[in-house]
Structure 1
């Protein structure tokens, strides 16, 4: 495949950048722990100039539970209701950030929505997001860019991952090769190298299983600092059974989600008598090992740095295990480059909204498997 990810400067002048405009980015991830919203300033050449405000707005408990239950068997009427309710929730989140703009005009809102189904393989790839952009536009009066995956799917791609183009624009400057790892519900990897195309893929489960297991056995949304996992012992026999899942051995491009890596999938690998804290320790090791092996197998020899973002960056035990499995590599937060690790995805969809209006391709064919670069997203008038 010869198509590569286009850089923003490929379609814009590299002359002195004028003061950037404001953009809002919105996303609710696979962990369904709330709507992440970011208000950012982006220059006309696509450089992230500043992050002015960020918010995480919790979803009502019963709405979050309904999203957790949604999937391929959910009745159409229920999906339509969720689409509208989520659109209103995203609209409220965007309106909160309008206030933070202090009256300065906002160019557009980029909203990824809430993924309720994603199937990278077997072919054809399928992906469904909820969060009616019309309701966001009605709530804010702003143009809204949404449905970012659809055009990549139409070009033969898997519609994911979508972060690599933004990572390249935001974290790929200079001559250094580096890996960017997002520890969200699903762990995904972006590989940035000045010598080759930007690429990346989904590595496997991260918070989707760690949080789900914690909810079941602790009654809490997540295992704070990974303390519960640290109290357990890795069950190496269980770890090997989990790693026998064919997805881990499949070559990229590839993408996945909680449809594959669910608690039901985990339960199918468990044996009687396993302590819940040992399972949590083993799930942590599964994430650390699959990330480390993905970096080792696909990053270039010159890669010396792994930049981590997503909720997992706050899991001290997981980060310690990742560092232990990546000897010789510096494992650090994206904060080291001035990008808030909790809002990288929200900022990324603000950037993808900029790319849509600027006519810049937002996908990286080497990552998604698409035939060619494409401008992503549908535009809804404010």
Structure 2
């Protein structure tokens, strides 16, 4: 079982999240039960470009990764200062920061099993003047787990109800499902790409960071042959526990599956369909009795994507996490604030049924202020 949401107290935590979409940093102020403030800040363009490049092998990686980790720490410290100013708090008011770092490699199944999130936690503690809890995935991997997804434990505590099966779908760069069963059991896994391929494709062809509301995808037609080829990727057939990232789903992966003459807008429509279809089929396979789906993450703002999910899941009521008091771009940051609270209170933050770890573990490493 996940650690439940504790009672509201005077303890305040900050959660910092930068995800696979690389759209920047979300920071939230969290009191154990609710978000009290939120700030978003984009990465400096040069840092974003370097983080994207570091997802693939390249020259002088150790040096570049160390500099990028410093850059992330400074970006995190800046957005923390903005959040404190916006909420009228001092750093002395905060018990700890839960900081995710930036995932650049995620290979829990191959080699000796590892996951890499770039962040200089010591530098962040030095600059923010607040205790930092980071490196939140590696203990689960050390215990034989995937190290991801970690948000299902928070979803269980925040969204779980006693009278029906509920699913939560996070649509970030990668899509992941949390399955919150009536009996108290919880499942969760990555379903495949969400925004990472769509964002990369529109950036290449139209110079835009993302396809607002799925408007460009809506001008194209789904290419059935391409969709079949994309869905043939072995990851989609794997049984949970499973997790993925840009190690697998990137534009080179897509390019290798394209055929000459395919219109860019049709490819975008097909990528949107890939996201919707893979998530919907995973939900039907793993929680056939689902009647409620809570959507969060940046993809929940993509009207065309949400429309396709509704069409593919006609018996499921789809709502936004915002309707439950947690805006879609704040959920993951709140989850990492909650994980910092779990660490401070010596409570486990993982779910072995989700990640495949050998047991419950306290997640994270502490850099005192």
CA separation of 1:18 and 1:219: change in aligned 2, threshold 3 A:
closer
After superposition, give the CA deviation of every residue in 1:227-265 in whole Å (9 maximum; x if it has no partner).
Answer: 100000000010000000000001010000011011000
Corresponding position: 1:37 with 2:27:
yes
Q: Which residue of 2 aligns with 1:89?
A: 75
Residue correspondence of structure 1 range 1-382 to structure 2 within 5 A: 5-8=1-4, 17=7, 19-42=9-32, 48=33, 50-71=34-55, 73-74=57-58, 75-103=61-89, 105-122=93-110, 124-301=112-289, 303-382=290-369
Q: Aligned partners of 1:139, 1:262: CA distance in 2, in Å?
A: 34
The two structures, once aligned, show a CA RMSD in angstroms of 1.4
User: Runs of 4 or more off by more than 3 Å in structure 1?
Assistant: 17-20
Q: Aligned partners of 1:134, 1:91: CA distance in 2, in Å?
A: 11
After superposition, give the CA deviation of every residue in 1:59-101 in whole Å (9 maximum; x if it has no partner).
Answer: 1111100110003524211111111111111111112222234
Q: How far apart are 1:288 and its partner, in Å?
A: 0.5
CA contact (8 A) 2:114 2:138 kept: no
CA contact (8 A) 1:6 1:360 kept: no
After superposition, give the CA deviation of every residue in 1:291-317 in whole Å (9 maximum; x if it has no partner).
Answer: 00010000152x210100000011111
CA contact (8 A) 2:12 2:94 kept: yes
Q: How far apart are 1:102 and its partner, in Å?
A: 2.2
Equivalences, count: 365
Which residues of structure 1 form unaligned runs of 5+? Answer: 43-47
Q: TM-score, normalised by structure 1?
A: 0.93
Which residues of structure 2 form unaligned runs of 5+? Answer: none
Q: Secondary structure at the match of 1:94?
A: helix
CA contact (8 A) 1:110 1:352 kept: yes
Q: TM-score, normalised by structure 2?
A: 0.96
